[in-house]
Structure formats: structure tokens, C-alpha cells
Structure 1
Amino acid sequence: MNMQVTNVIAPAQPKSLAETGLNTVMMRDVVLKTIFRMNIDQASEIARQICLPIGLTQELIDLCRSQRLLEATGTLHANSGGEMGYQLTDAGKARALDALAQSEYYGAMPVPLEMYREQVKKQSIRNIQMTRQQLTGAMGHLILPDELLDHLGPAVGSGRSILMYGPPGNGKSSISNGIRDALGDKIYVPRAIEYAGQVITVYDPIVHSAAQSFEDDPTSLRRSSGRFDTRYVLCERPTVITGGELSLDMLDLTYNPTARTYTGSLQLKATGGVFIIDDLGRQAEPPQKIVNRWIVPLEESRDILALQSGEKFEVPFDTLVIFSTNFHPNDIFDKAALRRIFFKIKIDGPNQENFLKIFAMVAKKKKMPLDEKALLHLLKVKYPTINNEYANYQPVFLIDQMISICNFEGIPYQMTPELIDRAWANMFVKEEKIVH
């Protein structure tokens, strides 16, 4: 599954300070802030924290020394290959505090927005070749009709936008997760990006699962991390899943006024991956308003974000957006919004045959023996009362209910018409007027 990793071109490690794309004063200040905040004193440790090769880090240290902001401590660390120690001078501390007053950001050097834009193109979600085998492999635990996969495959392969709609409890969320699993390759996510001197953190351990981190051994001649610019982290394609809690301000940069730092918006963190908006229509904002926010990104592959100053700037938008709703699309969108969503796929309940397959599969998994009499009672007596409308969630629900009853009664797991009746009673609430 992860054989595709070689398809993505890694960002090359910068060979000179100019190749980082950052100005020297900014890099110098990040070095001073990092030394001050992390209390580190060796070039190899500084290099690891600022994510630059040791040679470039040494150049920045020498620059700080020439400006009398850093001085050598004169002590060689025996345990680290006889490395020289460095400390901030009084002027260096004053400069670090001054820089921290402007922005608390320290650590990994950011990647300039322009350079990041180039990397996004190299690893675009639209470059993914999605095969039927990959999709069925990721959806193996779901019993889906063939025609659904016929629609899903091209939709995922396009890397555009998908609207899944249909009655609740039929696995729209599970299918969204299956799509994510089917992607299967890795991309490079910047720890932070820089625009107009402002640093915006992007890498987020909650959203991004790092594939592996390459640590440099400063004493080794062959550096493992020389393979790519370590200002990036090699990650699985990211997935952001939001539901009823989604509000429009989550799609803006977050500014921390105390630290004077920015954190990337949810969809910026999802770049190169999947953004799932589950339960559309349950948010505080109307669905039409939420979709309107995505119109420019979906049509033009770019998003517009704003800094505290009000200055607006463009970031790449390279994300497969999946909207999932229990409402009919015509009830929540106008025609213009619907036209902009590339694929509309109805996820319906299973037919009787697929319902039985799911029921048998769940029963086997949960060690519940099947009983013909109980199944006939379910299909011939119970389902006609709800117009034989089957849903994917029902087998799990009914079997879990019967397991709970058996555990309570102290009897072995079994299926009987009477247990089916007791389980069924919990699946639906009887229509009645409650007198207050």
C-alpha cells in the first residue's frame, strides 16, 4: 500500500542560507530565540531544533558571534565528539527578548509560502492514481453495492469534491474514512510557513501522523536526513474530520495575541489530504453558508486567508473535500452551490440480501449464533412495520442489544424471536404524546 511513497518528490535540503528563502535577520533571530527558550548550547542541538543542516547552522552561529550576540564558552563537550559550547552575550539576550516580544515563535525555520506552493504541486492529491483494488481494499470491512464503488472510484481519483447524501446510519462516515485509508501514500508537511515576515505553524501532531523522523548524527559522515529538507515532516496524507461543531472561523488562521503567533486553519492543515465535513446541516451556520466559503477554493485551487493586520494572501488549496449529509441536497443548497460540488453520490440503505450479509458478518464477529426462526421473525414481522427500510447500522445495533440482554439474564449468546422483539424496542421510539 505504501509503495507510492517514491512518487512524491522530496523537498531538497538547502545547500546555502540563500536557498532557505528566508532573510538572514529573521533566521538569526530564530536562532537566538531558540537558544534562549530551550537553553541549548551546541551547534548540533541547535541544528536539530531549527531543522537546518549543521553547516548552515554553523554559518548562523558565526554571524551571531560576529555581531557579538553569541560567544564560545571555551568548554568542549567530551560526550559529544568534542563540540564547542556557545552562550548568549548580554546583547544577545537583549536581542532575543526583543525578538520574542515581536513573536514567540522559535524552533524549526519556516518554509517561505512561495517554496511551499511548489512542494504542494509536486505532491498534489490530484496526482493520485486510485484503482478499484485500492478502494475495495480500504473498504473491505464494509459491504457496499458494486455500483457505489463505480461512482466513488472516479470521484476520489479526481481529488476534487464529493457530496454524499442519504438516510442516516448507512455508513457515510465509514466510507469517508475508507477513502482516507485508500490514499495510502505520504507527503511532506512543513512545520511552519512564512509570509511577509509572519510565521504560521502548519504541522499538527493531531492531524498529521508522522511516518518517521530522520535524526542526524553530527559525527556521522553520511547524514540520513540529507535526503530532504527537515523543515518538513514526512506524513501520511492528512485527514481533518469535522461535524456539527464546525464553524466558519475554524477555517481562518488562529492568532494568539499573547504569543503573537499564527496557527494554520483546518483546511491549510488538510492540504494534500482529505477534509471531511460530516453531518452537514447540523452546524450552527446554514449549510449554504458553509459551502459558499468553499466556492473559491474548490473552483480555483487556492484559498484566501487574512493576517491580524487585515492583509489578505493566497495559499494553495489542494484538498479532497467530502461533504456528508442526511438531508436531500435540494433542501439545503441552491443550484449554484450544487453545481460547484463535483460528484454527488447517494448512499442508500442496503437491500435485503446485503442486509442479511451484514447481519451474518456482524454476528460471526461478535460470536452470536444465527437462528433461522429469529431471522424470519425479524424480516417477516418486524421490518414490514417500517416499510422494509434497512439501514447499515441496524445489524450492529440489534446484535449488541441481544448480547446485552443475554449478559444480563446470564444466558449463553442466542437469537430468539423474543430477544429480537426486546432489541427492536430499543431501536425506535414509539410515537406518543408525553404529558408534562
Structure 2
Amino acid sequence: MPGGAAAQPAIGGGPDLLPRQPKSVEDTGLERSLIVELIAKDMSIAGKTHLSGLTGALRLPINVLREALDFMVKEQLAEVAWRGASDVDVQYRLTAAGKQRAAVCLERCAYVGPAPVTLEAYRAMAERQRQRQRVGAADVAAVFDDDDFDPGVLEQIGAAMHSGRSLFLYGPPGGGKSTLAGKLGALLPGMVALPHAVLVGQEIIALYDPALHLPPAPPYALQARQAQERRSGDARWTLCQRPVLRVGAELCPEMLALRHDGYSGSYQAPLHLKANHGMLVIDDLGRQRIAANELLQRYMQPLDAGLDQLTLRGGHKFSVPFDVLLVFATNLAPQSLLDASFLRRLGYKIHVGPLGARGYAALFRRQCRAASLACDDAVVRHLLERLHGASGRPLLASYPHELLGRVADFAGCAGLAPSLTVAALEQAWNSMFAACDMPAPGLAGDLCETIQ
């Protein structure tokens, strides 16, 4: 039956990669009228259209399209404009009645693109693809091999990723929280199948975003390409890396719910739905236009239940699987940001603070190599003992890159090749911090924010 036939999609194109290609309109789980509507809207924009062009635009196989087009020809909504030697070498165009039908459809919903999958099909595939991988110490070491995070921090990261529970990263600005969070996605192996759009009732929800859902990386790229080229899989789905979405202070309440596009008449999926089967990193927690407690309240129930409830404009509510690893990062004190009850419910609380002297020196030398700057031990000692030591400024991971960038700026302005000397390092250091920002004995805190 339409709307229910895809409740348990068969798998094609390799084990558990793509649902099988539908062989008829009924197999798609969609009403024939919706497919006719999508064809009419596409043809009204493109004009005379080849059957292969419709296949690419709607991501439906020729058999399905031909079944719908035969109906359109019978109902005098479309006609054959040209026919070649083979039965698939056909061009169609809309009749006057078809153009009128397309205009009405576009007025109601201007969505033109791949045919959606049913909500039942999405739920079934989402359950098949739930994250079940277990991260080990070797995986963490491989991802953070070029970093100098404290071993204790990496042990906590490994345990958190192994558990699949949420992470809460906190610590001073410049400590490396954003860098750490940005690399966590590399610990999510494999690939997932995502639909371009999902149909809920009569409403289309756009889900796939090529800017966020990236093609599979090695060693999965070849397998993905073979699965897509085999043509036994449902082309309404596409294979991609496990998504890693990152948002900061720009996060607002509207991004946590379905958003209706008044122009297209369709919906945009909320951030966490686009991040399903992957990771959502919320950076700068506490800087958003939504209170941190309210933000966590929005996600606590889905985290506990593994399901999220969304609402359409008319008030219709429906549930979708919630399979997202949430990562929060902040430079604010946790106790001032969140209630104790919320802190308890967060999975792993990990402090990311200043580096040790050895790790900081190693990071500085590596940044020098990346900038093609010679670095001797005297410069490193001066940085650690005189600049950091005398000022009491912590060994934050953000400083080396910023310092070396300023060394290059001063040299470039003078028309010279950059050279890392003690004098050049001091010049860069003195330009980084406002006088009122320097730590001073007896003061409870900084008088103004650090210039990062």
C-alpha cells in the first residue's frame, strides 16, 4: 500500500548500504499523484524533457517514471514529443492541461528535486544504521597522533566515544577545545545512507545537504561508488560520511525545529536530524540566543529515548530516530552555566586546560616546521621561561600559531623574510595582549578579555 510499502526496505548494492531500487510506483511507497506532481513541476521548468533527464532529477528508475508518464499521457497531461530507436529514448512535454496542473502544484509546493522516501522507510533505515561501533585507545591515538593533548584528556575522550554518550568539554579560551572537537568526527568510521527528502503526510522535508553530507572517504569511497553505480539501490538515497555538524553562537531556537520555507512550501530538517548517525558539536555553549539549560532540556529526552518528536505547521506530531553524538564545548564555568541536574545527565565532563611544558614546546616546534621557520632551543626556552614564566600566562594551545603568524606579519611589513629570533618573538608577544589583560599578583581575575 502507498505510504506503507517501504516500512521495511530491502537492501541492495551491497550489505546494508542502500534500500533496493523500486520496480513500480507501489514499491516507492508514494502515491502516484505525488510522482505525477513532481514530474509535472520538473517538466514545467525544463520544458521538453528526456526520460533519462527525469531519472536523474527525480532519482526514480525508468520503470517507475514510465508508469507515471503513461498515466499522464492517458490523462492528456503530457505527450510524447520525440521517440528514438529504443523504448527508453523518449522525450516528453506537458500539454496545456499539464502546464495548468503544474502551475497549481508549484503554487502549493515549489519543491522540485529527488522524490522523497516515506517516513516509515526512513525510520526503518535509521534503525539499521544506528551507531554501534566501539572506539579503542588505538583509534584515539591514530586521530590525535599529531596533537599534544594531555594523555589523561585523550583517555577520557576514548572512554566517552566508546560509550557513545554525550561529551561536555570545558576550559579556558585557547586551550584547544575547538580543535579537539573538530577531530572527533574522525572517530566515526564507515558511511551511512541518507535520503534527499522525507515525506510526512503530504509534506516534504528536505534532509540531504551536500555541504554537510560529504562523500565517503577512503577506504569506503570505492565501495560507495560501486554501490551507487550498480543501480540495484534506491537512488533517492545517497551514501556519505557519518555527518559532523558544528554550530556556535549563531545557534538559535528556530534551528532546533522543523523550519517551513514559505517560498518553496517544503520544510528544512533541524540540525540534529541532519546530523543523525553522526555528531553535532555545539561550540561556545552559553553564547547562544537560547539559554544553555533550555538547549540541554531540548535534547535530554531524545538522548534518553533515542527518539525525537517533531511538529508540522498544522500541529501534526511525529517521531524520528535520534542517533546523534552530542558534543558541547564552552569556556564558561560549568556551575555558572548549567544546573547541577543537567551536569549530572551529561555523559562525560572533560576539562581541556593548558598544556604541559613539554607538550607546548613540541607544539611550538611543529608549528615552526609548518611555517618553514627555523627554531632553536634558545627561542623555545625564552618563550617558556621569560615570556610565559614572567607573565604567568598559561601554556594555551592557541598561542604558537598566533605568535608565528605575527612574526610573519612584522617581517612582511618590513619587506623581510620571516626569521624566528628572540627579538621577533618578543615583538609578536607584546602585540598579542592588552596591558590590562596581563595577569598581576593579588588580582582576582583579568580586567579585560584575552585577545585571542
Verify same fold: TM over 0.5: yes
> Contact 2:156–2:350 (CA<8 Å) still a contact in 1?
yes
Q: 1:76 aligns with which of 83, 90, 99?
A: 83
Structure 1 segment 9-158 matched on structure 2, within 5 A: 9-73=17-81, 75-77=82-84, 83-124=89-130, 126-158=131-163
Distance 1:372 1:41, change over 3 A: closer
**In structure 1, what is the equivalent of residue 268 of structure 2?**
263
One-letter amino acid of the structure 1 residue matched with residue 171 of structure 2: G
Worse overlay, 253-262 or 130-139: 130-139
- Give the whole-Å Cα distance in 2 for the aligned partners of 1:29 and 1:350: 60
> Secondary structure of the equivalent of 1:117?
helix
Structure 2 stretches lacking a partner, 5+ long: 1-12, 438-446
> Contact 1:9–1:122 (CA<8 Å) still a contact in 2?
no
Per-residue deviation, residues 265-291 of structure 1 (Å, max 9, x unmatched):
222111111111111111122211221
Tell me how far 1:178 sits from its aligned partner. Answer: 0.9
Tell me how far 1:82 sits from its aligned partner. Answer: 7.0
- Give the whole-Å Cα distance in 2 for the aligned partners of 1:405 and 1:28: 65
Q: 1:384 aligns with which of 385, 389, 392?
A: 389
> Secondary structure of the equivalent of 1:321?
strand
Distance 1:133 1:301, change over 3 A: same
Q: 1:353 aligns with which of 358, 380, 383?
A: 358
- Give the whole-Å Cα distance in 2 for the aligned partners of 1:387 and 1:207: 41
RMSD over aligned Cα atoms: 2.7
Worse overlay, 178-187 or 411-420: 411-420
> Contact 2:253–2:289 (CA<8 Å) still a contact in 1?
no
> Secondary structure of the equivalent of 1:188?
strand
Tell me how far 1:8 sits from its aligned partner. Answer: 4.6
One-letter amino acid of the structure 1 residue matched with residue 92 of structure 2: Y
> Contact 1:349–1:391 (CA<8 Å) still a contact in 2?
yes
Distance 1:93 1:411, change over 3 A: closer
Tell me how far 1:7 sits from its aligned partner. Answer: 7.0
Distance 1:159 1:37, change over 3 A: farther
Structure 1 segment 24-423 matched on structure 2, within 5 A: 24-73=32-81, 75-77=82-84, 83-124=89-130, 126-211=131-216, 224-387=229-392, 389-423=394-428
> Contact 2:51–2:88 (CA<8 Å) still a contact in 1?
no
Give the count of matched residue pairs.
422
Distance 1:395 1:107, change over 3 A: closer
One-letter amino acid of the structure 1 residue matched with residue 28 of structure 2: T
**In structure 2, what is the equivalent of residue 219 of structure 1?**
none
- Give the whole-Å Cα distance in 2 for the aligned partners of 1:225 and 1:40: 28
One-letter amino acid of the structure 1 residue matched with residue 377 of structure 2: E
Tell me how far 1:6 sits from its aligned partner. Answer: 6.9
One-letter amino acid of the structure 2 residue matched with residue 199 of structure 1: I
Tell me how far 1:298 sits from its aligned partner. Answer: 1.5
- Give the whole-Å Cα distance in 1 for the aligned partners of 2:363 and 2:96: 71
- Give the whole-Å Cα distance in 2 for the aligned partners of 1:168 and 1:116: 40
Tell me how far 1:180 sits from its aligned partner. Answer: 1.1
Tell me how far 1:40 sits from its aligned partner. Answer: 4.2
- Give the whole-Å Cα distance in 2 for the aligned partners of 1:226 and 1:327: 51
Worse overlay, 109-118 or 259-268: 259-268
- Give the whole-Å Cα distance in 2 for the aligned partners of 1:199 and 1:255: 10
Distance 1:393 1:70, change over 3 A: same
- Give the whole-Å Cα distance in 2 for the aligned partners of 1:106 and 1:302: 29
Tell me how far 1:159 sits from its aligned partner. Answer: 3.1
> Secondary structure of the equivalent of 1:49?
helix
Per-residue deviation, residues 80-113 of structure 1 (Å, max 9, x unmatched):
8872222222222222222222211222110111
Worse overlay, 251-260 or 323-332: 251-260
- Give the whole-Å Cα distance in 2 for the aligned partners of 1:414 and 1:296: 55
- Give the whole-Å Cα distance in 2 for the aligned partners of 1:55 and 1:159: 42
> Secondary structure of the equivalent of 1:226?
coil
- Give the whole-Å Cα distance in 2 for the aligned partners of 1:92 and 1:213: 42
Tell me how far 1:331 sits from its aligned partner. Answer: 1.4
- Give the whole-Å Cα distance in 1 for the aligned partners of 2:193 and 2:88: 34
> Contact 2:77–2:94 (CA<8 Å) still a contact in 1?
yes
- Give the TM-score normalised by structure 1: 0.89
- Give the whole-Å Cα distance in 1 for the aligned partners of 2:180 and 2:240: 22
> Contact 1:164–1:346 (CA<8 Å) still a contact in 2?
yes
Per-residue deviation, residues 43-74 of structure 1 (Å, max 9, x unmatched):
2221221111111111111122222222223x
Distance 1:60 1:255, change over 3 A: same
- Give the TM-score normalised by structure 2: 0.86
